[in-house]
Structure 1
């Protein structure tokens, strides 16, 4: 496996990446990318100069995973958006490798914090399906992973829950905010 930049000159890889994004999210997060065109638009937007777009490819040039980074706060903070790994290749270290690679690229651009929002639209954690007000932090402290939500993946990589936006995706469907310091 190799991790490399996704660029506008790689139209076959752009198409594979958009297909991967759409196929991976259509079952669980139907509101994210509702069709292949919207996924393709997301991939094209990731190619802007102020963004990072990296793919993991196998020896045959097939896209196994994709990660993006969006500069914020004058480059001090970067949003990890999105991260996707082909379903047949999950739990093999590809997601971890992509995140660690993105961290290096963000550091090279002077970034000091990386953050990610991990929606819970499907009752995957104890934060979903409940009214988080007024004791939001109490709910965060007592969070439980009920159905393999990715927040624990990010915790293993050093991310910390720094907040939650209750009802971000509708009543009882929060967005969990996580961040990691990239200072050495």
Structure 2
């Protein structure tokens, strides 16, 4: 397995089978051009097997923190430590960038995600509510 940060639109679109839907080249380019948007991809035999994306967030009185936005591992490669390795890779980038912490929101019944994040060193801050504003379809 090789883990590396994505730096091209081609890398992002090649991993689209791991996303919830197909990638759009214009969104991939915008993602790469946005400071603080990161994607790390795990490759097995040269093919994308998993990814983690993060967004560095900055606030005037807090400094910067990393939000683990999404983690996905191809079903054929699950339970092999790829999710943990990707999470740890994103945490390493967050430390390099000077972030004071990294966080992720997880559904309380998502045992696989909870186990992955805990195995990568995360601790549970307790339950919280996530509220959203819907502005229309993304696609």
Q: TM-score, normalised by structure 2?
A: 0.76
CA distance, structure 2, for counterparts of residue 79 and residue 45 of structure 1: 18
How many residue pairs end up in the alignment?
128
Higher radius of gyration, 1 or 2: 1
Q: 2:104 aligned with 1:119, yes or no?
A: no
Matches within 5 A, 1:1-184: 1-8=1-8, 10-11=9-10, 13-22=11-20, 35-37=21-23, 41=27, 43-44=28-29, 46-47=31-32, 48-59=34-45, 61-74=46-59, 76-119=64-107, 125=109, 148-166=111-129, 168=131
List structure 1 runs of 4+ shifted beyond 6 angstroms: none
Q: TM-score, normalised by structure 1?
A: 0.59
Could you tell me which runs of 5 or more consecutive residues in structure 2 were left unpaired when the two chains were aligned. 133-139
CA distance, structure 1, for counterparts of residue 83 and residue 30 of structure 2: 21
* 1:52/1:37 CA distance change after superposition, 3 Å: closer
CA contact (8 A) 1:55 1:65 kept: yes
CA contact (8 A) 1:46 1:53 kept: no
RMSD after superposition: 2.6
> Once the 2 structures are TM-superposed, how far is the Cα of residue 101 of structure 1 from its aligned partner?
0.9
Q: Which residue is equivalent to 1:29?
A: none
Could you tell me which runs of 5 or more consecutive residues in structure 1 were left unpaired when the two chains were aligned. 23-34, 126-146, 170-184
